[in-house]
Amino acid sequence: MDFEKCIKNGELFKRGQKLKTWHRRWIYLSPHFLFYYLNSDESSPCGVISLEGFRIEKYSHSNVNAFSLKHSLKREIVFATSSEQELSEWIGVLSQIIKSFDVGSIPLLPIKLKKDFENDDMTQEIQITENKNEEIQKVIENLNEENNSLKHQVENLQSEMKNLIVLHQQQLEESEKKSKQEKKILVQEIMKLRAQQQSPQKEVKK
């Protein structure tokens, strides 16, 4: 940071305020503020904590190496380190800064960095919401694809049904035509038989 010298920096794990999950953060510690970034390459912090009004103590409610920054307004921010040695170093440096506070000398934080310390959790919740929206969108897209597939299947079935109806109608017409022809032939045969039966009778009469 250009406006304040760096006292200590390094990687810590910050616990979320609402979700209570651990998130890797790059920490930049100045004489009055603690800035945290998504990683060491970021130019803008995702959160900043003014150390005024905080006290530091070892966090005993976890099986990890952690410390908590507690505020008089009942705010508590928990960080974890990778080792016991790092924990002692961070607690030592932060304790010296908090003890050396002179309220009248605390500089104003630039407006662009005035973020509530819960912004990190808000970012997490927004990301979760976006992920859920993406999942919902994928589900909708899959449903639309399935709907289109079903629509095509229905259209194909309807087309097949129409073809079957036409084919059946043709078969009925052919069957009816054939039946008429057979009936006609049968009538002709009957008429021939009657004619043959009547012919001998006429000869007897003569």
The pLDDT tens digits for 38-59 are 999 988 898 999 888 899 999 9
> For position 118, what pLDDT does the model report?
43
pLDDT of 102 higher than 50: yes
Q: Are 76 and 56 in contact (CB under 8 A)?
A: no
Q: What is the mean pLDDT of residues 178-182?
A: 86
CA distance 24 to 36: 10
One-letter amino acid of 195 = A
Which of residues 165 and 110 earns the better pLDDT score? 165
The identity of residue 67, as a single letter, is F
In order of 5, 48, 99, 109, the CA distances from 44 in angstroms are 16, 10, 28, 14
Of all residues in the chain, the percent with pLDDT exceeding 90 is 26
What mean pLDDT do residues 11-29 have? 91
Q: Are 83 and 15 in contact (CB under 8 A)?
A: no
Question: How many Cβ atoms from other residues are within 10 Å of residue 106's Cβ?
Answer: 14
CA distances from 156 to 54, 132, 146, 150, 153 (A): 72, 36, 15, 10, 5
Residue 114 to residue 70: CA distance in whole angstroms: 19
pLDDT of the residue at 20 = 82
CA gap 76, 68 in Å, rounded: 6
Of 195 and 82, the structure prediction assigns the larger pLDDT to 82
Q: Which of 21-25, 125-129, 159-163, 175-179 has the lowest mean pLDDT?
A: 125-129
DSSP code, position 118 = T
pLDDT for 1: 47
Per the prediction, the chain carries an average pLDDT of 80
Question: The tokens of 177 are what?
Answer: 């035509």
Buried b (16+ CB within 10 A) or exposed e, 8-25: eeeebbbbbbeeeebbeb
* Mean per-residue pLDDT, 111-126: 46
Q: Is the pLDDT confidence value at 115 over 50?
A: no
CA angle 92, 98, 104 (to 5 degrees): 155
Is residue 141 over pLDDT 90?
no
Q: How is residue 106 written in tokens? A: 């605390």
